[in-house]
A and B are shown apart, each in its own frame.
Chain A
Amino acid sequence: MIPISWYLLLSATLFCLGMVGFLIKRNVITVFMSIELMLNGVNLSFVTFAHMWHKVNGQIFVFFVMVVAAAEAAVGLAIIIAIFRARGTLAVDRIDLMKL
């Protein structure tokens, strides 16, 4: 049996990878994928704890997260396409019209 801590470590690793990707990448699509990665890292720890405590709460949370992530992906991709059409770029640093 694989110990719980391994799952948790994997979850933390995934989350950190996603976070680092979010912070250092400029392309909006990559940033978007990094967010998905972080969400999945969190999902993994939810499932792990659900398994550990023999409760389904964590797994239900995972479904919620997946639903939100799917909706977010749909809306987010639509926004990305709109931005690309309007600005001709996907670099987050250049999308700064709201800045003072």
Chain B
Amino acid sequence: MITVALHHGFIFLPKLWLIPLLPFAGFLINGILGARLPKWVVTAVGLIAPAWSFGLVAIAAVTVITQGPRVLPMAEDLGSWISAGSLHVDFRFVLDQLSLTMLLIVTGVGFLIHVYSVGYMHSEKGYWRYFAYLNLFLFFMTLLVLAGNVLLMFVGWEGVGLASYLLIGFWYQKTTAADAGRKAFVVNRIGDFGFLIGIFLLLGNFGSLDFADIAAKLAMNPGWAGGILTTICICLLIGAAGKSAQLPLYVWLPDAMEGPTPVSALIHAATMVTAGVYMIARTHFLFDRSPAAMTVVAIVGAATAIFAATIGLVQTDIKRVLAYSTISQLGYMFLGCGVAAYSAAIFHLMTHAFFKALLFLAAGSVIHGLGGEQDLRRMGGLWKKMPVTFWTMTAAVLAIAGFFPFAGFFSKDAILYAAFLSGTNGKIFWAVGLFTALLTSFYMFRLWYLAFLGKPRSPEVHAHESGWSMLVPLVILGILSVCGGWIGAGRMGAWLAPSVGAHTVEAANNNLEIYLSVIAVAVAALGWLIAHLLYREGSKRAEQLASTFSAPYRLLLHKYWVDELYSKAIVKPLLAISRFVLEWIVEYAILGGLAWLLSGSAVFGGAVLQRWQSGNLRSYAAWLAAGAAVLLVFALAPYFLGAYGINVKWAGW
């Protein structure tokens, strides 16, 4: 029962339900049979599923481009899911400009990372398990993106959390990996709690969970703003902050680096962590009605951007630098959402997916080439040994630092420009964003210098370039990191306008945008210059600086002691409460006592009653006789007692 609602006649768009279903089929095949299948079959299944999905999305994109955007939004109803009283939730997939853009990123980058994984994971014992999980992730992610209502989105939302948990803990024999997986799951649950409350509030206030319905109801009440909408938006923001690793729920993402590097690239950089940004853009009609919530979003985004960037300055694990950089860039996207520049945020989401996936994959290539070494201090001089990795990494570094004409320049510039023009706080947001850009440029070039330039610091390791299955995705993503931004913020805004509204602020004069761009590039160059001075070959200035400012240095090195603070303030008390109240009082005393009482009385009753079953014929007969005598007394008592004037009303008399 599939009804495809099209605005106009015969236009070929693929069946939307196939897009999530193909990776799910891949997951089922590899998950159930993978251990018994030969490796090439596992690889084929694992690659065909995302490739096919990407093909379908690409067909849809081509159709939309050739036919014009009038074919969108396209909704596909796959029947009713929940129908209880006034609550109706359908299996509804919606393809519009926003979800199409997101799908292209998810399936496209996802496919490339699948290809890369073939090389990266080739000697893993759990090869089939890895691909099953990866396909499962794509299933839930595409479900999340295509969902036409909040509840279906929530299913995908939880599902990607599950896939993330499984993949972070992929090497579950390692305690740190298993712990990191649990941490990610638990922290995400806190965010999901907010999201759930938001869903309930939406249901209570709109009576529907369908995005289109809610938007329509809001459109009918143009005066409705603030109040409960602010509450709903803050709840949704909590959910988004959990998934997208924003303050104060960002702590799981750095630990998530325990997973395999392609997983970090796909889930913890390019796609899943951007789900929060996507969700805010998807529900922008709510946020648009609540200036207070928008300000909170912008503040959270800006604060996260600068906070994570400062931590990234001093980290020595190559993947952790990238993790903090991811958090920081996600902060940019939130800042973009917070100043109503949704299209700029999605634009940055897209370019970030390209260059951050590339950064992670290149880092993975380095780690792979060095036989598992992740410490920047033990790298160096790799550019000669890993030329492809080096050059693609350079493109990505230039892109994230925001150099013209690399991809990051355009999207970051769009966000900063929108922030600059937004209200009274806008200049502050812009300044914070600009300073973050300086920090970003600095720590990325620091990584670049430490890993690739200078002399090899651990000569005993023989670095080698990775195989073609890892290099091809690197090169493709490298090209995208260079060219991905050329589409331009203006065209991106116009393309996304039907989905997220036209929020592009017209500049008072066009020169302002150019001035701001020049400042941004100058700041990026300054970051490079500082990194060059501190980390070029033979420079001792970094160590000197660290010893001069040892207190701030240690503060950053220990990540502001946030993990320790959370541990002391939240985790430990919670564990103590769990142990004493829940475990001992509730579990042992109340529940255990109750169970003991029930079973004890049964045992005791059994011990007493079993004496009855003596097996002695005459004792049975005696009990029978006694019973009969009791019945007789019972039946005759009213007569005898009645004779003495006592009226007994039993046995029906």
Contacts and interface: CB of A to CB of B under 8 A. Distances in A.
Interface stretch (B508-516, B547-555, B616-624): B616-624
A92 B618 contact: yes
B241 to A, nearest CB: 67
A98 interface: yes
Interface string A59-100: 000000000000000000000000000000000110010111
A99 B613 CA distance: 9
Interface string B596-617: 0000000000000000001111
Contact of B615 (A19, A22, A23, A96): A96
Contacts of A100: 615
A4 to B, nearest CB: 16
A86 B615 CA distance: 20
Interface of B is mostly: helix
A22 B621 CA distance: 8
Contacts of B616: 93, 96, 99
Contacts of B614: 99
B625 A23 contact: yes
A19 B621 CA distance: 9
A23 B618 CA distance: 6
A92 B616 CA distance: 9
B625 A92 contact: no
B49 to A, nearest CB: 63
A68 to B, nearest CB: 18
Nearest to B619: A23
Contact of B622 (A23, A96, A98): A23
Contacts of A98: 615
Contacts of A92: 617-618
B469 to A, nearest CB: 72
B477 to A, nearest CB: 78
A37 B321 CA distance: 102
B640 to A, nearest CB: 15
Nearest to A35: B621
A93 B618 CA distance: 8
Contacts of A96: 615-616
B620 to A, nearest CB: 10
B168 to A, nearest CB: 58
A23 to B, nearest CB: 6
Nearest to A26: B618
Contacts of B618: 22-23, 92-93
A99 B625 CA distance: 21
A19 B625 contact: yes
Nearest to A93: B616
A97 to B, nearest CB: 10
B629 to A, nearest CB: 10
Contacts of B615: 96, 98-100
A93 B621 CA distance: 13
Interface in A1-39: 19, 22-23
B614, B615, B618, B625: most-surrounded residue (chain A CB, <10 A)? B618
A22 B618 CA distance: 8
Nearest to B614: A99
A49 B627 CA distance: 24
Nearest to A98: B615
A99 B622 CA distance: 18
Contacts of B621: 22-23
Interface in B550-608: none
A83 to B, nearest CB: 12
Contacts of B617: 92
B15 to A, nearest CB: 69
A46 to B, nearest CB: 17
A78 to B, nearest CB: 18
A35 to B, nearest CB: 10
Interface string B216-253: 00000000000000000000000000000000000000
A42 B147 CA distance: 82
B52 to A, nearest CB: 68
Contacts of A22: 618, 621
B8 to A, nearest CB: 85
For the complex of A and B, 4 pairs with smallest distance between CB atoms: A99-B615, A92-B617, A23-B622, A19-B625
6 contacts: A23-B621, A23-B622, A92-B617, A92-B618, A99-B615, A99-B616
Interface of B: 614-618, 621-622, 625
Given A93-B618, A96-B616, 10 more contacts: A19-B625, A23-B618, A23-B621, A23-B622, A23-B625, A93-B616, A96-B615, A99-B615, A99-B616, A100-B615
